């Protein structure tokens, strides 16, 4: 580990970003996460790494330097995703007045003290249009004043082997105005991006076909080997009942002899009745009108396209949210009459099976949904290594 690239993860959550960066050859040496349950998950999966369990506004620059033994300029990579609730297109208020949207300034404060060779800021696509672009402008101006070159892209998780329709905005900055590299698509995966900046900032896989892209990873590639469950069932530290059935499963099961967090939420009688009518790839439109929730009875059929959806095994999963609740998306299992389990959500996020989530069922789903997909983080990490090298 002595010769490994060193990284620090701020707003670390359960550690998806650190998990992926480790796969790319980075060794995390410090993390900060205010939520104690999320921090406990980070500590369990990254033993020996100091985690500051506090508000970043209370985290002093000197505290980070003391905990890591670093001097300014020695750190290879500072990474983090300031909380994005205020940026999200799903949030009811998207305003510069939302205090959550100013935490990126605290991230930059620590960056000034550490002066890493490279830094990463990741967030939701909605950050691009927030305040009519003033947040993006502020990030660029601040990093430029610190002597960094900076670029940003909207990356699609499917391009890096993640079986999910997930987009993230990623800023990469290089000290001494160095050259910046973003990971180009590795998988022939597509999804419709209907947010501001998508055309200019997203990679188009069709432009990379000559690079022999791998086939898209499907939902079934991710979860087909996992044991059957009934609503409310749980398998934790249980045995696998099937060998790996895909290359993806082989990768995620490596080093894991037991199955953890394979737990799903209970379903009420009404949802169980609705499920009978929803085919693979179907949604609320397939449910008889008299069985629909009151709100959907009034909905136009062009609205809420993914609500009460059953996943199609050959397609990508919806974006994994902090609640795999059928009312908010397509989270019913492709072949079983239940919602997907925490482990299935983690598989779809590309967490390895030996990554164990702590806390109750609600917080486990939250941790998975808030995370950066590790395979996507690994692709970013490989690009950063290229920059540093």
Can you tell me the distance from the alpha carbon of 42 to that of 52, in angstroms, rounded to the nearest whole number?
Answer: 11
User: CB within 8 A of 116, min separation 6: which ones?
Assistant: 8, 75, 76, 77, 78, 175
Give buried/exposed letters for 148-187 (b at 16+ CB in 10 A, else e): bbbebbbbbbbbbbbbbbbbbbbbbbbbeeeebbebbbbb
Residue listed under structure tokens 């506090």: 54
Nearest in space to 11 (alpha carbons), one of 78, 86, 92: 78
User: CB within 8 A of 316, min separation 6: which ones?
Assistant: 158, 163, 164, 165, 189, 191, 216, 218, 219
User: CB 226: neighbour CB atoms within 10 A?
Assistant: 22
- C-alpha pair distances (Å), 370 with each of 12, 244, 364: 10, 27, 10
Helices 16-23 and 374-388: crossing angle, nearest 10°?
50
Nearest in space to 233 (alpha carbons), one of 253, 209, 262: 262
Could you give the dihedral angle defined by the CA atoms of residues 308, 158, 237 and 311, in that order, rounded to the nearest 10 degrees?
Answer: 20
**In terms of DSSP H, where are the helices of the chain?**
16-23, 36-45, 61-68, 103-114, 134-145, 198-201, 219-223, 247-253, 269-275, 294-297, 342-349, 361-370, 374-388
Active site residues: 84
Contact 253, 244 (CB under 8 A): yes
Give the largest Cα separation in the chain, rounded: 66
Can you tell me the distance from the alpha carbon of 338 to that of 249, in angstroms, rounded to the nearest whole number?
Answer: 21
Extract the tokens encoding 105: 């300034």
């Amino acid at each position: 580990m002595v010769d490994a690239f060193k990284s620090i993860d701020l707003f670390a959550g359960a550690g998806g970003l650190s998990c992926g960066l480790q796969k790319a050859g980075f060794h995390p040496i410090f993390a900060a996460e205010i939520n104690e349950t999320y921090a406990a998950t980070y500590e369990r999966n990254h033993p020996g790494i100091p985690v500051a369990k506090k508000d970043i506004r209370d985290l002093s620059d000197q505290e980070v330097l003391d905990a890591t033994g670093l001097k300014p300029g020695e750190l290879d990579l500072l990474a983090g995703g300031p909380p994005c609730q205020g940026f999200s297109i799903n949030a009811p208020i998207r305003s510069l007045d939302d205090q959550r949207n100013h935490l990126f300034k605290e991230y930059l404060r620590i960056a000034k003290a550490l002066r890493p060779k490279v830094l990463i800021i990741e967030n939701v696509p909605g950050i691009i249009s927030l305040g009519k672009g003033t947040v993006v402008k502020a990030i660029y101006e601040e990093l430029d004043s610190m002597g960094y070159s900076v670029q940003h892209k909207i990356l699609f998780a499917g391009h890096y082997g993640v079986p999910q329709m997930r987009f993230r905005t990623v800023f990469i900055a290089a000290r001494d105005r160095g050259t910046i590299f973003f990971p180009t698509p590795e998988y022939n995966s597509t999804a419709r991006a209907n947010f501001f900046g998508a055309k200019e900032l997203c990679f188009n896989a069709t432009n990379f076909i000559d690079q022999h892209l791998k086939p898209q990873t499907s939902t079934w590639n991710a979860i087909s080997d996992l044991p059957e469950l009934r609503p409310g069932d749980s398998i934790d530290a249980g045995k696998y009942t099937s060998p790996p059935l895909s290359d993806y499963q082989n990768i995620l099961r490596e080093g894991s002899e037991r199955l953890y967090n394979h737990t799903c939420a209970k379903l009420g009688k009404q949802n169980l009745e609705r499920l009978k009518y929803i085919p693979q790839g179907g949604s609320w439109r397939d449910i008889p009108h008299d069985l629909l929730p009151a709100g959907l009875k009034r909905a136009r059929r062009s609205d809420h396209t993914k609500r009460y959806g059953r996943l199609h095994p050959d397609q990508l999963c919806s974006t994994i949210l902090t609640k795999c609740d059928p009312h908010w998306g397509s989270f019913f299992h492709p072949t079983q009459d239940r919602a997907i389990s925490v482990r299935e959500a983690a598989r779809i996020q590309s967490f390895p099976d030996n990554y164990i989530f702590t806390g109750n069922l609600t917080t486990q789903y939250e941790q998975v949904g808030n995370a950066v997909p590790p395979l996507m983080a690994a692709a970013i990490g490989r690009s950063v290594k290229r920059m540093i090298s």
